[in-house]
Amino acid sequence: MRWALVKVCLAVTVMVVVAFAVPLGMVIKEMARDRAFSNAERQAAAIGPTLSITTDRDALERAVASTQSGAENRMAVHVPADPAVPGSAPVDIGTQRAADKDLEATRKVIKASTSDVSGGSTLLQPTALSSGQIAIVEVFVPEAEVTNGVTTAWVVLAGVGIGLIIGSVAVADRLGVRMVRPAQRLAGAAQDLGEGKLGARVPEEGPTELRSAAVAFNSMADQVVQLLANERELAADLSHRLRTPLTVLRLNAASLGDGPAADQTRAAVEQLEREVDTIIRTAREAKPKTQPAGPGAGCDACEVILERMEFWSALAEDEGREVRLAGVDRPVRIPVARPDLVAVLDALLGNVFRHTPEGTAFSVDVHNGEDAVIVLVSDAGPGIADPRAALARGNSGGRPGSTGLGLDIVRRVAESTGGDVRIGHSVLGGTEVRLWIGLGRPAPTRRSHRLRRRGVSA
């Protein structure tokens, strides 16, 4: 497209230059010729007053010598014989260059004329004498005088034309680059995106149409990346939710005792858990995205907590863990879907069973405020050495059997309501995870945090 634009501008400019330069060159040539013959006419006219007074040779020679053409031997005067004076002879002054027939033709028509001679042209100017005869003043105009300045003018015209052509080509090339480069970048980015380079984007520059195409492409690429991230996120979240029944199976398998069947059961559970961990780690780069609950959506937090605590209390009793539950004596409505809250509680309580020794006590406390509901999950375990590192998505903190996605599920649910998650030290001596669930609209800052991929881990 760039070279096509250059060729079009080149063709148009050449046609314009030729259309103007050729006629202008011809006009300049004619003007130079007219200037030379006009000068010759003025010098021939200067002899007219002398011829009207006298035809004396000496007087005429002096008059001819006083002109520029006469001084340069380019003027001649042809006076015919006077028939009224017997024995008079014609008078010829200067060098005759015109043919006799041209002189006679001029006398007959009594009108100035030109004729071509060797080395140039001659101007034949008729002048009436007092005797009634017609004298001819002949002025020689050299070819060099006729074409004086024409070559220079043509060279200047050619230079101007070439300059215009070069300038138009340069401007067309710059315009072509301005149009082609954004199109090439757009094509390259589309190819990169097709090859799986999801970070390919196009600078929004160039003509208006290409800027609009770049904006549309970047928006499409962002949507593709977000869709892929959501798919991986869904795979990771679903896989992580499988860990809750896997934890139960692992604990039950540990109580089977010895024997081939028990060993096979424990090996199968461990293999299944490894496969689930592999699925979760494969999707660990997904961008978190949780849609806020719509109007009227949500669940009773206390009802869900009581239900899940009933499930986990059976396992706690098997492992000798003391469980304390507080703040669930009355309904607490929160803007979180029931399945999401179930996933949050299973992730928090599963971490307690997975990362603390048997017999470690834990508690769940619910605090209901005007603008938020706080759920505290505390344990008496060894705690987390680096809470900030644990709040990085996909970071397991070096804990065996951790995928680093448990707390990420918790964080996304909290931030979808405008809340957040904090990790600290509990009064039981171990870890305390504070889940802040907002009861109003999600805060913009929380949403921007999600877009910056600020993650947490299990």
Largest separation between any pair of C-alpha atoms in the chain: 168
* Residue 229 reports pLDDT greater than 80: no
Question: What is the reported pLDDT for 434?
Answer: 93
User: Of 41-55, 242-256, 279-293, 432-446, which gets the smallest average pLDDT?
Assistant: 279-293
* Residue 443 reports pLDDT greater than 70: no
Question: What is the reported pLDDT for 275?
Answer: 65
Mean pLDDT for the stretch of residues 444-454 = 38
Q: What is the DSSP string of 189-213?
A: HHHHHHTT-TT------SSHHHHHH
Residue with tokens 């009793």: 317
User: Do 2-151 and 290-451 agree at the fold level?
Assistant: no
Mean pLDDT for the stretch of residues 383-397 = 68
DSSP H or E run through 366: strand 362-368
Strands 323-326 and 362-368: parallel
The tokens for 138 are: 């002949």
Q: How confident is the model at residue 304 (pLDDT cuts 50, 70, 90)?
A: very high
Question: What is the reported pLDDT for 375?
Answer: 94
Distances (CA, A) of 113 to 36, 81, 109, 128: 14, 22, 10, 15
Q: Does the domain spanning 203-287 belong to CATH 1.10.287.130? A: yes
Distance CA 197, CA 225 (A): 10
Instruction: Indicate the domain borders of the chain.
Output: 2-151, 203-287, 290-451
* Residue 288 reports pLDDT greater than 50: no
First to last CA, the chain: 55
- Strand partners of residue 424: 432
Query: Buried (b) or exposed (e) across 265-298, using 16+ Cβ within 10 A?
Result: bbeebeeebeebbebbbebbebbbebebbeeeeb
What does CATH list as the number for 290-451? 3.30.565.10
Question: What is the reported pLDDT for 457?
Answer: 35
* Residue 75 reports pLDDT greater than 50: yes
The tokens for 159 are: 């230079």
Contacts of 115 (CB under 8 A, 6+ apart): 98, 99, 102, 121, 122, 124
Question: What is the reported pLDDT for 325?
Answer: 93
pTM recorded for the entire structure: 0.41
What does CATH list as the number for 2-151? 3.30.450.20
pLDDT digits (tens, 9 = 90+) for 341-383: 988 898 899 889 888 999 999 999 999 988 899 999 999 998 8
